[in-house]
Chain A
Amino acid sequence: MKEYTAIKELPYYEELDFYKKQKRIVLQNCGLIDPEKIDDYIEKKGYQAAAKAITQMKSKEIIEEVKKSGLRGRGGGGFPTGLKWQFAKDAEGEKKYIVCNADEGDPGAFMDRSLLEGDPHKLLEGMMIAAYAIDADEGYIYVRAEYPLAIRRLKKAISQAEELGLLGENIFGTEFNFKIHIKEGAGAFVCGEETALMASIEGKRGTPTSRPPYPAQSGLWGKPTNINNVETYANIPFIIDNGAEEFNKFGTENSSGTKVFALTGKIKNTGLVEVPMGLSLRDIIYDIGGGITDDKGFKAVQTGGPSGGCIPAEQLDLKIDYDSLKEIGAMMGSGGMVVMDEDTCMVDVARFFLTFTQSESCGKCTPCRLGTKRMLEILERITEGEGKKGDIEKLEQLGKVIKEASLCGLGQTAPNPVLTTIKYFRDEYEAHINDKKCPAGQCDALKGSYVIDEDHCIGCGQCKTVCPADAITGKKQKAHTIDPEACISCGACAEVCPVNAISN
C-alpha cells in the first residue's frame, strides 16, 4: 500500500479559521457526499434515526425526545418544535399532513437551498420521523420555483427512497405508510408564512388567514397539519440518533443546538456557517468571517432579512440566540446575516428592505398594505433630500401600529429594519432631514458634485473620457477640474481614476 505523509504547511479542514468555531450538525454532509446517491447518505448513518424511531420508539417517546432537545423552529419564529408536534398529535382526525416550508425568500439567505441541494435525504428522513410521530401518512415540500436544482435533487431523492421502500407502504416492515409530494411556488414571498403557504399548496391565492385555528388543528384542507422549516426537520435525525442530551450540549439554555447563517455583505469570508447558539456576533464576523473587506470600519449587521433588524457595533458581543436578538429589536429570522461597513447608508438600507416587503405585501390586511406604503413614501422622501421635521416620529408611530395590527408575520415584522435603524442610527436620519446630508455618501440626491484633488491628479484624462456630462476639463499631464454645475454625481470618474484622486 502506498504511504501518504501529511504536508505540514497545509492545515486540516477543522484547523482553518473559517471552520474552527463551527459545529456542523445540519450541514454535516453538505459538500462531502454526492447528494444524488442515496448510498452515500446511508453510508453516513443515513436513515438509521428513522429506522430507530419507526421500529423501536412510540410516537410519544419521539415527541418527548424532541421536546427535551429544546429544538425551536429554525424558520425564524422559534416556536418549540416538540410542542408543535404534540399539538398535531393530539388533534383529532383520521387524516393528517406533514408540510415542509422550503419557500426561502429572504434576500441574502440560502441556507435551505444548500441543504436541499447538498443533502436532500436528511430532510426526507426528518419528515418521515415527524410523520410517524404525529400519525401522518402524507407530506408536502413547498419549494420556490427559483430553486430548480433543489427541486430536481429532491425529486431524485424521493424516487430513490421509494425504490428502497423507505417511502411508501409498510416502511421498515411496520404498519407505517408515508409518501411525499413536491409543490413548486409561483413567486410570492408571503407564501413563506405558514397559512399562506398551505393556501398556495391548495392551489389558491397565497394569502394568510388569521390564527387560531392553528395548522395543528385545521391546516391543509382543514386537516391537522404539522409545518416546519427545512433546517428544523434536518435537525431531527441527529436528535433521535444521539439523544436530546447530546443535542443540548450545544447552544444556550433556551436556544439549544446550532444555527446555520448565510454570511454575506462587506465581509472577507462569505458563505454558510453553522455555529452553536450563543456564539457572539464578534466571533462570527471576525473569527469566522475574517473581518470587514478592505479592513474598513464595521457599522452594523443585519439579521433576519426583511423581518429582522440592524445591530450596531455596541452589540457585537451579544450572544446570539432567539431571545437575545428579539430583545434588541432584531430577529433570528431564517438566518441571513448581512454585514455592513462604514460606507453603508442605514436610511437607504431601511428603504431597501421596506421596498421589498411593501411590494410583497399580499394586500389582505390594511395595516400592512397601506402602512408599509406610507412608511416607504416617507423613507423615499428622506433619501431624496426632502425629509421633514417629524418624519422620524411618524415612522416610529406607523411602525408600531403595523407591528401590532398586521395579520401575519410579514406585516408584524416589516417595520423592524426601519425601527432598529432609527433606534441605533438616529443621527443618520437626522443628518438626512436636517442637514440634507448622507453621512455615508450613498444617497444620490444628497451627494455633492465630485471634486478632483489637484495634488494627486496625474492628468491621465481617463475621467474626462468616461464623464457622461462632459463636465471635466484639463490638459494632458495637468491637473483636471470638474465643473460642479455640469456634474451629475454619477461617480463614473471616481471609479476609473487610477490614483483615487476624485471624491465627493
Chain B
Amino acid sequence: MDKIELSKVDTILDDHRGKKDSLITVLQKSQNELGYLSKDTQKYIADEMKIPYSKLYGVVTFYSQFHQKPRGKYIVRVCEGTACHVRGGDKVLEALKDELGVDRGETTKDLLFTLEPVACLGACGLAPVVMINDESYGRMTPESIVEVINEYRNKN
C-alpha cells in the first residue's frame, strides 16, 4: 500500500483507536476514502486494531457493502436476454470486451469501467440494450457501443 493511502487510513484509525465497536465503521470510512478494501488495506487495519486478519476478512465478506476489488466509475450492464441475443447482443458484449480489454465482471485498469452482463434489463423493444450507470442505450451495434464508450472516456 502506498504512503498516501496509508496516511488516509491512519487518520481514520486515529479517531477510533481503543473503541471496541468500531471495526465496521473503520472499514466503511476506509472504503469511502479508497474506493475498495484491498488485501493490504485489510491486513493493515487488522494489525493496527489488533484483531486477527481472518476475523476482519470474515466481516468484509459478510456484508454486501464491502468490495475487495476496485469498481469502475461507470458500471456497464450488457443485457443478455433472449430479445437482445437474437438482435446481436452477444456481438455487442464481444465488442465491449475487446474495447475495454476486460472480461465479464472485471474492471478496466484506469478504473473507469466495470463490465457486468445481466440477465434482462426489461427493455426488449430497444434490443440490444446496454446500461451505463443509470443511462440506457438502445439498439446498440458493435460500432455504436464503442462510440458511447468513447463519449464517457472524453468526459474524464
Contacts and interface: CB of A to CB of B under 8 A. Distances in A.
Indicate whether A and B interact: yes
Interface of A: 145, 183-184, 186-188, 200-207, 221, 362, 466, 468-469, 488, 490-492, 495-496
Contacts of B59: 203-205
Contact of A188 (B62, B82, B84, B127): B62
Contacts of B100: none
A203 B50 CA distance: 13
B21 A186 contact: no
A207 to B, nearest CB: 8
Interface string B23-44: 1110110000000000000000
Contact of A187 (B55, B63, B81, B83): B63
Nearest to A360: B64
B87 interface: yes
Contacts of B23: 203-204
Contacts of A469: 83, 86-87
Query: Chain B: interface secondary structure?
Result: helix
Residue of A187, A188, A468, A495 ringed by the most chain B CB atoms within 10 A: A468
Contacts of B64: 186-188
Interface residues of B, number: 25
Nearest to B82: A488
Given A468-B86, A488-B86, 13 more contacts: A184-B28, A186-B28, A202-B20, A203-B22, A203-B23, A205-B59, A205-B62, A362-B62, A468-B87, A468-B127, A469-B86, A490-B83, A490-B124
Nearest to A463: B125
Contacts of A186: 24, 27-28, 63-66
B58 interface: yes
B93 to A, nearest CB: 16
A221 B21 CA distance: 10
Residue of A221, A490, A495 ringed by the most chain B CB atoms within 10 A: A490
20 contacts: A183-B24, A184-B24, A184-B25, A186-B24, A201-B21, A203-B21, A203-B24, A203-B59, A205-B59, A205-B62, A207-B62, A362-B62, A466-B125, A468-B124, A469-B83, A490-B81, A490-B82, A490-B83, A490-B127, A492-B125
Interface string B78-106: 00011110110000000000000000000
Contacts of A183: 21, 24-25
